[in-house]
Amino acid sequence: MLGLFGAALLRDRGVPHVILTEPDEARRATAARLGADVISTADFAQHPSLADGGCDAVIEVAGDPRVVVPGANALRPGGPYLWVGMVHPDTSLASLTGEQVVRRCMRVTGVYNYAPHHLDEAINLLARCGDSFPWDDVISPALPLAQLNKAFALALERRWARVSVDCTQPLSLS
């Protein structure tokens, strides 16, 4: 979801070329409708725009250590590399070396959680252009809290990036 929303936000801000990697074919199609140039994760290292420092910035949101080194190689010297998804205690940086970071003058920043102004920015994006993005392909129809087990089952199907639960209806505990 972070990658999809990030692609929409960057395109809305006028970034002309947003490249998003995604292993799932259906999610690649959704990301393309959000304005991203989408490639499969397997093709990431071979993409011509990503070879030898072709990216001004790289933002990792997947928590997949296999993209760390290709992301570093795609980054222009001195560019920012934001790590957002690397929150698992067993996340390995694979074969990224200190030498790569230093010689490329890489600015690596870990980002954890968000501030209220980030939520304001997300709401503003939805207010400005929510109708122009295929959010129905990204977020499921809301299920009542009483159907939470069904929501978990839908999440495991991976049809939507997020499964929506409506918590406004009272939950009967009888």
| In a domain? residue 74 | yes
| In a domain? residue 133 | no
pLDDT at 171 over 80: no
Q: Are residues 102 and 32 in the same domain?
A: yes
Of the pLDDT bands very low, low, confident and very high (cuts 50, 70, 90), residue 93 is confident
Q: What is the pLDDT of residues 123-170, one digit of tens each?
A: 898 888 878 888 888 889 999 999 999 999 999 998 888 899 998 877
Closest by CA position to 55, among listed 34, 71, 69: 71
Q: What is the pLDDT of residues 101-128, one digit of tens each?
A: 999 899 999 988 888 998 898 889 888 8
The whole domain housing 18 covers 2-110
| In a domain? residue 7 | yes
Q: Are residues 104 and 153 in the same domain?
A: no
Cα(166)–Cα(145) distance, integer angstroms? 6
Q: What is the pLDDT of residues 56-92, one digit of tens each?
A: 899 998 888 878 888 888 888 999 999 988 888 877 7
Q: Are residues 25 and 88 in the same domain?
A: yes
Q: Are residues 7 and 76 in the same domain?
A: yes
pLDDT at 173: 67
Q: Are residues 31 and 105 in the same domain?
A: yes
DSSP states of 18-80: -EEE-S-HHHHHHHHHTT-EEE-GGGGGG-GGGTTS-BS-EEE-S--GGGHHHHHHHBPTT-E
| In a domain? residue 121 | no
Question: What percent of the chain lies above the pLDDT cut of 90?
Answer: 20
Q: Are residues 12 and 77 in the same domain?
A: yes
pLDDT at 51: 67
| In a domain? residue 128 | no
Mean of the per-residue pLDDT values for the chain?
A: 85
Instruction: Give residue 131's identity as a one-letter amino acid code.
Output: D
Q: Are residues 43 and 99 in the same domain?
A: yes
Number of domains in the chain: 2
pLDDT at 174 over 80: no
Q: Are residues 96 and 157 in the same domain?
A: no
| In a domain? residue 52 | yes
Q: Are residues 98 and 144 in the same domain?
A: no
pLDDT at 45: 67
Helix axis angle for 116-129 and 2-12, nearest 10°, is 70
Q: Are residues 23 and 69 in the same domain?
A: yes
Backbone angles phi, psi at 29, to 5 degrees: -65, -40
pLDDT at 150: 95
CATH number of the domain that residue 76 is part of: 3.40.50.720
Q: Are residues 106 and 34 in the same domain?
A: yes
